[in-house]
Amino acid sequence: MTEHDYWKIFPRMPKQVTIGDITIRDGFQHCEKFISTQAKIYYGQEMILAGCRELEVTNLGNPRAMPQFKDADEVMKAMRGDDFRKRCGKAGIDVDKDVTLTCVTIREAAVDRAIEMRKNGYGPDRILMMVSTDPEHHFANSGTTLSQYWREAERCIQKARDAGIKMCGTVSTIWGSPISGATKLEDAVEFTRRWFQIGAHDIEHADHDGSANAADAYRYFSMVLDAMPNPEAHLCHLHETKRIASSTILAALQAGICRFEATLGGLGGQPANFLDDCPIKGTGEYYYDPRYVGLICMEDLVVQIDELGIRHGYDVNRVLMLGRKMEKTIGARLRSEAIINGRTVKEGHMEHARPGLKKLIEKEKEKPGQQFPAEWSAEAILPEKWGPADPLWKK
C-alpha cells in the first residue's frame, strides 16, 4: 500500500520553520518611489509584533546608488529604540535576545559602517554579503571578479566576528541567471562550502530571477543537506516571476529546509534604477519586465505553511492585515491571494447554507448524516470493468 503520511515519505521535512521578513529592505529596493522612513519603521516593527524573528532592515551601501535606503541609520535606531523595546516587552518579546536584525553589506565599506553602528549602540546582529555563481551577474551587483570578492569577504567576516556580528553569505543565481543563464548546481554547493570555510555563520541560497522549479530545488537542497547536514545553517530565498514558486517552497520543505524569507505583497526584485522623478544608478537596466517580478509573498507563504500544519510562530491574521495595509502604502494591488480570500476555514461558512435541507431530509425519511440510499451496500463494490476498462470508454 502507498504510504499516506507525508512526513514518512519525506523524513527530512520539518515540523517547524522560521520565516524571515525582508520587506523593508529587499521588498522596497525595487520600488520606484521613496517609501517614507515612518512606513519602513512601521512595517518592520509590526512584523516583529506579528511573530517575525529574523528581520532584514536596510541596505548599508552607498545611498547615491540606492537612495531608497538613505534613512538606514534612522530606521535602525528606531528598531533599537526604547519605545519599541517597551512595546515588545508588553508582548513578551525581548528584541535583543529574540530577534535578529540584519543589514545588507555587499561591499567592505558597508561592513565597516555596520561595525561603526554597532559601536554606537544601534548596529545589526547580522550582515549579508553575496556572490553569484554567474560571474557576470556577480560583477553587475558588486563590480568585482569572484576571486577579488572572496578575498574581500574573508576580511569582512573576520572584522564582523571581532565586532560580535554574524555574517550571512549569499549564493545567488543557483538555478539560473538573468544575464548568463544556468550554472551548475554543484558550483553552488562548492560556493556554500567556501562561505563556511572563511567563517560565514549561515548561507542564503538565492534564486534571484524566478528560475527555480520544484524538481531542481529538491535536488539542490538535498545535495546541500547531504554535504552540510544542519538545516539551521541554510536559508531559502526565492523570487517569483512565473507563479510557480509555491511549488518550489514545497520541494525545499521536502528536502529538509526549515528557514525561508519573504516580503509582504511579494514586493522586491532588482534594485530600482528610477526613484520618484529621478533616474538613479541601481544595478543597470532591468533584467525583466519590472511590473511582474518580486519575491515569495509573505502572506501566501504563511498561509501555505500554516495549512500544512507546520509551526511558524506568526499571527497569520495580523500578517494578512499588514498585507492589506501594504497595498495602500504602495498604491497598487500586490500579489497576495490570501489577503483577498483569507485562510481555509475548516468549520466552513454556514451563513451561506440554503434553508430547507433539514426539512427535506425529514420528508424523505432519511437519517441525519445519511450519504447514500439506504438500500445500497455498506461499502462501494466496483464493477468488473470500470472507468477506462468499460467498453463504452472508447469510441
Q: For the domain bounded by 16-341, which CATH number is listed?
A: 3.20.20.70
Q: Write out the DSSP string of 100-119.
A: EEEEE--SHHHHHHHHHHHH
Determine phi and psi for 153, rounding to 5 degrees.
Answer: -60, -40
Residue 231: predicted pLDDT? 97
Return d(Cα 153, Cα 169) in angstroms, integer.
Answer: 9
284-296 pLDDT per residue, tens: 788 777 777 899 9
Instruction: Give dist(CA 328, CA 189) in Å, integer.
Output: 41
pLDDT (0 to 100) of residue 332: 94
pLDDT value of position 174: 96
Can you tell me whether residue 137 is helix, strand or coil? helix
Question: What's the confidence (pLDDT) of residue 292?
Answer: 75
Q: Please state the length of the chain.
A: 395
pTM of the model: 0.93
| Angle (deg, nearest 10), helices 82-90 and 37-49 | 30
Report, as ranges of residue numbers, the positions in the chain whose pLDDT lies below 50. Answer: none
- Residue spans of the domains in the chain: they are 16-341
Output phi, psi for 131, to 5 deg: -120, 155
Indicate the angle between helix axes 37-49 and 72-79, nearest 10 degrees: 30
Instruction: Spell out the alpha helix ranges (H) of the chain.
Output: 6-9, 37-49, 72-79, 82-90, 95-98, 108-119, 135-142, 146-162, 185-197, 214-227, 245-255, 298-307, 316-330, 338-341, 357-363
**Helix, strand, coil shares of the chain as percentages rounded to 5?**
45, 15, 40
Structure letter (DSSP) for residue 368 = T
Q: What is the pLDDT of residue 395?
A: 67
Helix (H) or strand (E) holding 121: none
46-69: pLDDT as tens digits: 999 999 999 999 999 999 889 999
Beta-ladder partners of 166: 126
